[in-house]
Amino acid sequence: MRSLTIDQVAGAFFAAFSLLVLWETRKIPFGFLAEPGPGAMPAFLAFTLLVCSIAVIIGGRSGKRAAAVQWTEWRHAVFILGTCAFMALALERLGFRVTIFIALLTLVSILEKKGWLAGVVFAGCFSFGTYFLFNALLHVPLPKGPFGL
C-alpha cells in the first residue's frame, strides 16, 4: 500500500485541530448572525480551517509522499528543543547567567563535541557578556538566581 501524501497527513492534522477548536468554542457565547458574539469569529475561522484542510487533503492526493520526507537532523533538533525547554524551566529559577551558561555549554560541548574548555570559555563569555550588555548597559531586567547570579 502506498503511504499517505504530505498534504493528506497535514490536512488530516489541521482538520482534527479545527474540530477541536470548534468543540472548544461551544463554551464561548456565539451571539447571533446579525450580532456576532465573542465566539462567532473563532467558530467561523475554525470552520474555514476545516474546509481548507479538507481541500488540502483532496488536492494533495498525488503529491509528495510523507514517508519520503527526510528527518536526518532530528536528533540535533530534539536536543536543541530540549535545551529550549530547559531554558524556559530554569530561567527564573537559576537566573539568566547560570541558565544560559548551562544551555550553551551543553550545546557546544556535548551536542557539537567541541571540548569542555572551549564550551566553558564560550558559554561563560556569552552568558556574562550578554548579561552585562543587556542588564547593566541597556537596563533590560533579567532574572537573577541563587547567590545573585
- Residues in 32-71 at the binding interface with other proteins, rule: CB under 8 A: 32-39, 41-42, 45-46, 48-49, 52-53, 55-56, 58-62, 64, 66, 69, 71
Cβ atoms < 10 Å from Cβ of 74: 9
**CA-based end-to-end distance of the chain:** 58
Q: Which of 3, 23, 110, 114 touches other proteins by CB under 8 A?
A: 114
- We find the least distance from the C-beta atom of residue 15 to other proteins, in angstroms, to be 10
Complex with other proteins: residue 120 or 126, whichever CB lies closer: 126
Least separation in angstroms between CB 26 and other proteins:
12
- Spatial separation of the C-alpha atoms in residues 76 and 35, rounded to whole Å: 50
If binding is defined by CB under 8 A, does position 145 make contact with other proteins? no
Least Cβ distance, residue 80 to other proteins (angstroms)? 6
| Three cell numbers, residue 83 | 535545551
Q: Which of residues 89-108 bind other proteins (CB under 8 A)?
A: 89, 91-92, 96, 100, 103-104, 107-108
112 binding other proteins? (CB under 8 A): yes
**Phi then psi dihedrals of residue 112, to 5 deg:** -95, -5
Instruction: Quote the cell numbers at residue 70.
Output: 527526510
Task: State how far the Cα of 79 lies from the Cα of 100, in Å rounded to an integer.
Answer: 15
On whether the CB atoms of residues 13 and 56 are closer than 8 A, the answer is no
- Quote the least distance from Cβ 119 to other proteins, whole Å: 9
